[in-house]
Amino acid sequence: MTGEDQLTLDGGCTCGGVRYRMTSRPLFVHCCHCRWCQRESGSSFALNAMIEAERVVLLGGEPQVVDTPSLSGKGQKIARCPSCRVAVWSNYAGAGDAIRFVRVGTLDDPDRLPPDVHIFTSSKQPWVVLPPATPAVAEYYDREQLWPAESLARRRALIG
Ligand SMILES: [Zn+2]
Ligand SMILES: [Zn+2]
């Protein structure tokens, strides 16, 4: 993943009202197969790129933050376009406002960010076949074991 630090990725909602830019590669990309993500996406999993909030720059519009229940019980804040209501990122109670979970499917080029880990595969829909080379865990995982050192350092700089 080295050499991608200068990576910038643009994205936005369906109506074009909200546009944003990720100014570096993300910390880590989760593909979450929990039932909550299945329900909220209306699909089989959610694909979230975790990144420092300050590395997500708004290019247009102002997302509206909607308080939404979460699996942990602590709630999540989902940032949605005020017009078309497409969700562009979430913040979870665990990492607070400092880390955004950008919805990879809203990027102009979502192919650039494949999953670094599959989580909550215990509730994966049975037809979804995971690639053997990507780590997969029944529920959650130990960050220290899976994240690249550079991402761990970035997170420490942020949260301490
Ligand atoms: Zn929109
Ligand atoms: Zn989930």
Pairwise CA distance, residues 80 & 87, whole Å: 4
Residue located via tokens 């830019």: 21
CA of 86 from ligand 2 middle (Å) equals 17
CA of 86 from ligand 1 middle (Å) equals 6
Three-class DSSP category at 27: coil
pTM: 0.94
% the chain with pLDDT above 70:
97
CA of 15 from ligand 2 middle (Å) equals 25
Q: CA 26, 135, 97: angle at the middle one, nearest 5?
A: 35
pLDDT tens, position by position, 36-49: 999 999 999 999 99
**Ligand index nearest the alpha carbon of residue 103:** 2
Residues 6+ apart with CB under 8 A from 81: 13, 14, 15, 17, 18, 61, 63, 64, 88
Across the chain, mean pLDDT equals: 94
Q: Name residues with Cβ closer than 5 Å to ligand 1, which is an ion.
A: 13, 15, 17, 81, 83-84
Pairwise CA distance, residues 13 & 16, whole Å: 5
Residues 6+ apart with CB under 8 A from 93: 70, 72, 74, 75, 76
23 has a pLDDT exceeding 90: yes
pLDDT tens, position by position, 116-154: 999 999 999 999 999 999 999 999 999 999 999 999 999
Helices (H), the chain: 35-41, 143-146, 149-159
4 has a pLDDT exceeding 70: no
Pairwise CA distance, residues 30 & 48, whole Å: 5
pLDDT tens, position by position, 60-85: 999 999 999 988 889 999 999 999 99
